[in-house]
Chain A
Amino acid sequence: MPRIRVRLTFPPEQIQQPIVYHLVKDFDLIPNIRRAEVKADYGWMALELEGDEGALERAVAWLKGRGVQVDPIERDVIVP
């Protein structure tokens, strides 16, 4: 099954939301969290998501729609 490795950055209003739960329940993805840091007003998470391609794309769009920044695990792949 396709897999992507992403880094999610959460804005303050999303910190307390059960984001990972929705990734499993609504998109049928298998998340594998490798590293994360969550503070009172900020948080990020590095994880692998496994699922079918359409679901991965929809999940990324859903995350972005909620204000969660979705970057590749390397972050700055495009360098000036």
Chain B
Amino acid sequence: MEKLNGLRCRECGRRYPATPVHVCEFCFGPLEVDYRYDTLQTIVTRESIAAGPPSMWRYKDLLPVEGDVAVGHHVGFTPLIRAQNLADELGCREVWVKNDSVCHPSWSFKDRVVAVAVTKAKEFGYDTVACASTGNLANSVAAHAAEGRLKSYIFIPADLEQGKVLATLVYNPTLVAVHGTYDEVNRLCSEIADKYRWAFVNVNFRPYYSEGSKSYGFEIIEQLGWRAPEHIIVPCAGGSLITKIWKGIKELKTLGLIAGPVTTKMHAAQAAGCGPIVTMIRNDTDVLVPVRPNTIAKSLAIGNPADGYYAYKAVKESGGYGAHTTDEEIVEGMLLLARTEGIFTETAGGVTLAAAKKLIEAGVIQRTESIVICITGNGLKTPDALYDRLEAHVKIKPSLSAFDRALADLKSHAT
């Protein structure tokens, strides 16, 4: 059964067949996958989803994959945790953490988008995938390319530290380090994507790739028992994740799968040092002013986000808001989540938790309402954010008496 109408320009509405194209030839607007919801209505039910695998592919009917899943069979369906310790600390009643810090295989939500993009690449007969990335995306593309036995090219700025690329290099991609300013590297990669017949996951495959993020939203709703929460706080870089979570929730509503009304407010979380989307929301303007990123939250450091306008629209449409967080607050957020729930998230998670705390304290989010905090990446990837901040509490010689003394000391300090 045909479930796709093809692609559609988000700006002028022109239609395109479902091929690897990403911008409208007429207005240069971004293209988006267009589904036949009337067809989907007849095949997608809560039961059909529940009968699917414990992965993002239980929602395959609502993703743009038409053939078999090629890679990333175990991506997604990550834990949604009732975070009571955190709720107590924040003085809230109902707090949930959607934990993609343990997303298989590369420990961030990017596995969701990449699994769709690489599966699509195989579907379209490509033998090479590519991306330009300094972090999570590179890890995930290299991992999924290895699994799919595809060649992969990963482009990075030449000044990136070796340590940052180890978790990519291990999968044996071709790593291309480009000398030049960020702007030059960015533009070169766009030209390469244009010239070579490769599946550049976030360029020519972007319409398919970005749909993978909807699964994050689908899972939240299903795991809450097909109920929409009152608030979802989402970390934003390019602005795609928050846009697609919102799209996913609206799709479930359209298909009649959500119990009760959807009163969910989507809130954007960004670092103060790179917060152009939150600035739009707070200034209540649809004009995005690009910034030069300066923050420890490297995985959110996109100064001129392609989906900034759509992220703003999703937030406004849902009645949500946004918060900027300082580097200090980001680290405190990471430590708070680790201390209360035993979850070690990366800086992006610190941003989200710190933003949630601010929105609660400002009264934007009521303490009696249901809150979902989106944790999208793993802390073991960004340990440098915590260097100089944590150290062993006790250092002793290897003798029992030394330990006895140290323990007594600790206890006296604690009281």
Contact = CB atoms under 8 A, between A and B. Distances in A.
Contact of B306 (A5, A70, A76): A76
A42 B183 CA distance: 20
Interface string A22-52: 0000000000001101010010001100000
Q: How large is the interface on A (under 10, 10 to 19, 20 to 34, 35 or more residues)?
A: 20 to 34
Interface string B137-157: 100000000000000000101
A80 B301 contact: yes
B183 A71 contact: yes
B79 interface: no
Interface in B218-238: 237-238
B111 to A, nearest CB: 14
B189 A78 contact: yes
A80 B164 CA distance: 11
B107 to A, nearest CB: 14
A1 interface: no
Nearest to B25: A34
A74 B298 contact: no
Contacts of B374: none
B133 A80 contact: yes
A69 interface: yes
Residues of A contacting B: mostly: strand
A72 B290 contact: no
A5 B300 CA distance: 25
Contacts of A6: 187
B298 A35 contact: no
B137 A79 contact: yes
Given A34-B28, A46-B28, A73-B23, A80 B302 contact: yes
A60 to B, nearest CB: 8
A6 B23 CA distance: 12
Given A34-B27, A80-B137, A75 B300 contact: no
A80 B186 contact: no
A74 B203 contact: yes
Given A64-B183, A78-B182, 4 more contacts: A46-B28, A72-B189, A73-B190, A78-B189
List the 9 closest pairs (A to B, CB-CB), nearest first. A72-B190, A80-B299, A34-B28, A80-B135, A75-B306, A46-B28, A78-B132, A77-B189, A79-B137
9 contacts: A6-B187, A34-B28, A35-B28, A72-B186, A72-B191, A74-B306, A78-B133, A79-B137, A80-B300
Interface of A: 4-6, 9, 34-35, 37, 39, 42, 46-47, 64, 69-80
